[in-house]
Structure 1
Amino acid sequence: MITAVLGVLAALTICFAIVFIKDVVKHKNNLESNSWVKVSAIGFITNFFDTLGIGSFAPTTALLKAFKQTKDRVIPGTLNVACTIPVVAEAFIFMTVIKVEPITLIGMLAAAALGAWVGAGIVSKLPERIIQFTMGVALFITAFLMFASKVGWMPGGGDAIGLEGGKLIFAIVANFVLGALMTAGIGLYAPCMALVYFLGMSPNIAFPIMMGSCAFLMPVASIKFVKEGAYDRKASLGITIGGAIGVFIAAYIVKSLPLNILGWLVIGVILYTSITMLKSASKAHSKSGVAIE
């Protein structure tokens, strides 16, 4: 059954890649003015550590803003499009080496993909200040979840490799919501890991579930972002290339690192980015005189 799941994932990814490449080629003469070197390096770094469980959306957002590589308005679409192929590579790696009960895995993956399809159509049309406000709050929540994990506030999980009954229904509904939120640039890893732990599953199960969820929802959401033109083409292509290299080095060469200190650093960076996003949203609100609802 896992082979069939991976076959579907491969087909989705090929469809996305065709749409993405055709769009980049169509606009090859008017790509953005950002730096190939910088966006590729960002992709390599963030997806390298993403493979080790850090998560890539929040760090990528922080680095894109720090090096002024794209506009806030297109960050959600850029994150989804740019990280699709690296995350699919991660999913193939982890879904083949860590066993998960098929019904649980398929149910949660399908829910995330459906949530992304619904969410992308909404997010791609939102005003910039709403994007800034949403991402600012989301990044703050992500930083809190990572902090809670560090200090032992999050549940420690169990040893189950699957769910049934009410827990399974709850997990599917929750992953639908997380899939929709991810299209706004809200990383799925931290909340999905918290969900897995909360439901008493083995901590290792979080990797194929969260990476598989992202891998299934991202081609779906990213096709919509591409068709809407709501992403940075040059940054997305650079991050894709650098990110794919980072994933394979992390998975097959490095495999594990002492990430405790790095984890605290990432929390600090995410919190800082959250504050800057909220400040930007506040300034936009002051200039427009329109409330953020």
Structure 2
Amino acid sequence: MRIILISAIILINLIFILVLLRDLFKHRDEIMKESANNFWTPLAQIAIYFLSTFGISDFAISTALYPKMKWVSLKKLPGTLNTQCVIPVFVMSLAYITNISVGIKTLLVCIICQVIGAYIGPHFVVKLSEKVIRNFVIVGLLIATALILAGKFGLIPSNGTATELYGWKLALTGLLMFVFGALNNIGIGSYALTMATVYAMGMNPVAAFPIMMGGCTFSVSVGSMQFIKLDDYSRKITLFSVFGIIGVLLAVFVVKSLNTGVIQWIVVVVLLYSAISLYQDNRQTRNSAVNK
């Protein structure tokens, strides 16, 4: 079953790559005209996915960075967060699923449920206004911050030993993974949420990684193909996401372990600052509308 799962991961990601390449070729004259910086964007991808491999949300970091750097509009931010992470997460998923043991039934339920949520989401996201997306992004930043702090202060249990789930725990986890897959599409990353769920269900903390990466490699591939078809993503950032592979390989094969304590505090500050900035943008937009 594990061999079948790995084969399926490779297949779905190859399909995504073909869809992406076809779209990039079709719009080849437009890609380099996009606002993302040609030098800093690849470097950012390396850093983002290096940290992501250790469980620090690439969605959260990218959400804090891209609007401030004006690399992508808020309207296209959710689609970009999804499309940019497909290839790096593909590499992560293969590394974790082949190296960390987790029950295959639990893994399959989590993956299938998250894929269903991810498939449904994009068709609703493209209809949302920039203001609504901004509000969802603020909520996502606050959720990520809260979960990081909960882990830092021991409010989330992280001493479970199980590698398989049964009964109501498996059913509830499947339902939550469906919700997380849908939330991915509005820019709310699923890493921290998945970690919290895995810990709460009494599973071994390391089991969170194959579940996170396995679920995401399918769900973001499926969801991202929808965003590509709907023309609702940054092509340049997604193209430069191949540099994220360097960050993943450095984390998995060179660094292997990282004391993320200080980094997490820095991320908390950045996330809170970004959420406050977006809230202030909302107020300014609202005040401008009233004054008119």
- TM score, norm. by length of structure 1: 0.95
Are the equivalent residues in 2 in contact too, given 1:80–1:221 (CA < 8 A)?
yes
2:16 alignment partner in structure 1: 16
Which of 217, 227, 230 is the equivalent residue of 1:228? 230
1:103 alignment partner in structure 2: 105
Q: CA deviation at 1:288?
A: 4.7
Q: CA deviation at 1:286?
A: 4.0
Aligned AA (1:192): T
Are the equivalent residues in 2 in contact too, given 1:157–1:199 (CA < 8 A)?
no
Provide the rounded CA distance (Å) in 2 between the counterparts of 1:37 and 1:81.
20
Provide the rounded CA distance (Å) in 1 between the counterparts of 2:128 and 2:283.
16
Q: Secondary structure at the match of 2:189?
A: coil
Identity of aligned residues (%): 36
Structure 1, gaps ≥5 residues long: none
Are the equivalent residues in 1 in contact too, given 2:194–2:208 (CA < 8 A)?
yes
Provide the rounded CA distance (Å) in 2 between the counterparts of 1:126 and 1:280.
17
1:257 alignment partner in structure 2: 258
Q: In terms of mean alpha carbon deviation, does 275-284 or 135-144 score higher?
A: 275-284
Aligned AA (2:27): H
Provide the rounded CA distance (Å) in 2 between the counterparts of 1:231 and 1:281.
22
Which of 40, 43, 56 is the equivalent residue of 1:41? 43
Are the equivalent residues in 2 in contact too, given 1:36–1:235 (CA < 8 A)?
no
1:77 alignment partner in structure 2: 79
Aligned AA (1:133): N
Are the equivalent residues in 1 in contact too, given 2:63–2:137 (CA < 8 A)?
no
Q: Secondary structure at the match of 1:156?
A: coil
Provide the rounded CA distance (Å) in 1 between the counterparts of 2:286 and 2:14.
40
Which of 123, 131, 134 is the equivalent residue of 2:133? 131
Aligned AA (2:8): V
2:174 alignment partner in structure 1: 172
Q: How many equivalent residue pairs?
A: 288
Provide the rounded CA distance (Å) in 2 between the counterparts of 1:45 and 1:65.
17
Q: How does 1:129-278 map to 2 (within 5 A)?
A: 129-238=131-240, 240-278=241-279
Structure 2, gaps ≥5 residues long: none
Give yes or no for the alignment of 1:282 onto 2:283. yes
Provide the rounded CA distance (Å) in 2 between the counterparts of 1:274 and 1:256.
30
Are the equivalent residues in 2 in contact too, given 1:129–1:280 (CA < 8 A)?
no
- TM score, norm. by length of structure 2: 0.95
Q: CA deviation at 1:35?
A: 1.4
Q: How does 1:49-60 map to 2 (within 5 A)?
A: 49-60=51-62
Provide the rounded CA distance (Å) in 2 between the counterparts of 1:90 and 1:15.
18
Which deviations, in whole Å up to 9, do the C-alpha atoms of 1:216-242 show, x marking residues without a partner? Answer: 10100000000111011111211x122
Aligned AA (2:59): F
Provide the rounded CA distance (Å) in 2 between the counterparts of 1:28 and 1:53.
33
Q: CA deviation at 1:30?
A: 1.6
Aligned AA (1:215): T
Which deviations, in whole Å up to 9, do the C-alpha atoms of 1:24-59 show, x marking residues without a partner? Answer: 111111221321212111111110110112121111
Q: CA deviation at 1:66?
A: 2.9
Q: CA deviation at 1:125?
A: 2.3
Provide the rounded CA distance (Å) in 2 between the counterparts of 1:288 and 1:236.
34
Provide the rounded CA distance (Å) in 2 between the counterparts of 1:8 and 1:223.
16
Provide the rounded CA distance (Å) in 2 between the counterparts of 1:154 and 1:47.
24
Are the equivalent residues in 2 in contact too, given 1:42–1:63 (CA < 8 A)?
no
Aligned AA (1:165): G
Aligned AA (2:280): K
